[in-house]
Amino acid sequence: MAASSAPGPGLSALRPPAFGAEPAGERLARIRRSPHFANGAFQNPGGPARVRPSGSSRDMARLYLDKDARSRRAPRGAIPVHPTTLADLTRPPATGLRLTWTGHSGVLAEIDGRRVLFDPVWGERCSPFPFAGPKRLHPVPLPLAALGPVDVVVISHDHYDHLDMPTIRELAGTDTVFAVPLGVGAHLERWGVPGERLRELDWQESTRVGGLTLTATPARHFCGRGLRNTQHTLWASWAVAGERHRIYHSGDTGYFDGFRGIGAAHGPFDATMIQVGAYSEFWPDIHMTPEEGVRAHLDLQGGEPGGVLLPIHWGTFNLAPHAWAEPGEWMKDAAEEAGQAVAFPRPGEPFEPAGRLPAGAWWRAVSGPIARPWRRPRIAGGVAGTSEGHLDHAGER
């Protein structure tokens, strides 16, 4: 793919605002100087990643159109959202670290007296259009303004389910700083974020905000808004270090062997926020399964269980063929097998990783039966149990 110049003013004027803006000028020059940019595009760690679905279109269409499979991709009732209040968030965390999962990949992290908001999406759809695209399966836990002051907003990449124009426009009117991967600042500037409030980083670059060190770390994914994908904006995971605590947000990524290096350089982490939803055998390079998410967490911790894993990127939007509640069930099994502590908060439920963890399978009340092809056969009375991998809720732990 050859590097292309930014579109001219006439073409830019025709772009829907939600498409954002193409990098240009010094921003584009900096992109081209990046050691991770080659042959006109940013390159993934671990070699090329398939960013388009593999397999046949017929197989994918059959999977998506199957009536039974389609019904499993959404909850059967109202998702239990925690009624987060301003009082919940104005009381300082007793341990110095508190996380509030706002749904999908959005997390408010209160760390060592500062407040970091990862991938906030308050819009009704993750789409450039208000009338089409994946729609929320649950309401936001609280109005964006009710979060209170945020020191820094961190964006992992520019896909619509992570970078939401209405949310950014509302946050642009505050005093918050935005930490974004290289090139993503072009979108934010178009939506009203002043350039002086942008910290735009390449992988392994860091910035300081109010006593926190934020480092953009590698991820295995891709970027793109609009009608063409020029791969001119970077995607990243993020390590955040305060005086006492360290946390990690994976953004979107496939599993790769770089997690151990990230952990060695920036960990171990008190908590990780790991993408474990919207996976599929059609795109194994760019999203992780829950089992891979546990493996990534262990790599980040030096190979042993430690800290707390918060599963993200599931429950809020229907973005993949798997059953809606499958990431939660698979994560429970995988983490238990590894001996790793996992938090399962309802959307909007604050918790402190060093305190009592929310561990209940809240999704079961609104989910149908989940097939478990990942579960090993059980041994009962010396004889192997069923290997079909299907259990209804009555047979679950």
Give the confidence band of 375 by pLDDT, cuts at 50, 70, 90: confident
Which stretch of 13-27, 234-248, 355-369 has the lowest confidence by average pLDDT?
A: 13-27
Place of tokens 């930014």: 6
271-275 and 246-249: which strand pairing? parallel
Whether residue 2 has pLDDT greater than 80: no
CA dist., res. 180 & res. 207, Å (int):
11
Number of CB atoms found within 10 A of residue 9's CB: 7
Question: Are 373 and 289 contacting, i.e. CB atoms less than 8 angstroms apart?
Answer: no
Work out the average pLDDT over 185-192. Answer: 97
Question: Are 275 and 243 contacting, i.e. CB atoms less than 8 angstroms apart?
Answer: no
Percent of the chain with pLDDT over 70: 86
pLDDT, residue 302, reads: 97
pLDDT tens for 64-107 read: 666 677 778 899 999 999 988 777 888 999 999 999 999 999 99
Whether residue 4 has pLDDT greater than 60: no
Q: Which residue has the higher pLDDT, 219 or 10?
A: 219
Nearest to 238 by CA among 256, 257, 212: 212
Whether residue 370 has pLDDT greater than 80: yes
pLDDT, residue 73, reads: 84
Whether residue 44 has pLDDT greater than 70: yes
271-275 and 308-312: which strand pairing? parallel
Place of tokens 């001219």: 8
Mean pLDDT of all residues in the chain?
A: 88
pLDDT tens for 108-153 read: 999 999 999 999 999 999 999 989 999 999 999 999 988 999 999 9
Tell me the CA end-to-end span of the chain in Å, nearest whole number.
50
CA dihedral (119, 125, 130, 134) positive or negative:
positive
pLDDT tens for 246-266 read: 999 999 999 999 999 999 999
pLDDT tens for 312-357 read: 999 999 999 999 999 999 999 999 999 999 999 999 999 999 999 9
| CA atoms within 13 Å, Cβ hemisphere of 153 | 31
Q: Which residues contact 26 (CB under 8 A, 6 or more apart)?
A: none
Work out the average pLDDT over 207-217. Answer: 97
Max mean pLDDT among 86-100, 182-196, 229-243 falls in: 182-196
Question: Are 230 and 262 contacting, i.e. CB atoms less than 8 angstroms apart?
Answer: no
Buried b (16+ CB within 10 A) or exposed e, 232-267: bbbbbbbbbbbeebbbbbbbbbbbbebbbebbeebb
CA dist., res. 46 & res. 318, Å (int):
28
Q: Which residues contact 10 (CB under 8 A, 6 or more apart)?
A: none
Q: Which residue has the higher pLDDT, 371 or 51?
A: 371
Which stretch of 162-176, 258-272, 364-378 has the lowest confidence by average pLDDT?
A: 364-378
pTM greater than 0.85 (yes/no) = yes
- Residue 50 belongs to what H/E stretch? none
- Residue 391 belongs to what H/E stretch? strand 390-391
pLDDT, residue 377, reads: 58
**Diameter of the chain measured on Cα atoms:** 74
**What single letter denotes the amino acid at residue 378?**
R
Work out the average pLDDT over 207-228. Answer: 91
Whether residue 6 has pLDDT greater than 70: no
Please give the backbone phi and psi of residue 140, each rounded to the nearest 5 degrees, phi first: -65, 145
pLDDT, residue 391, reads: 38
pLDDT, residue 28, reads: 94
CA dihedral (262, 264, 266, 271) positive or negative:
positive
Percent of the chain with pLDDT over 90: 72
Q: Which residue has the higher pLDDT, 139 or 396?
A: 139
Work out the average pLDDT over 172-196. Answer: 97
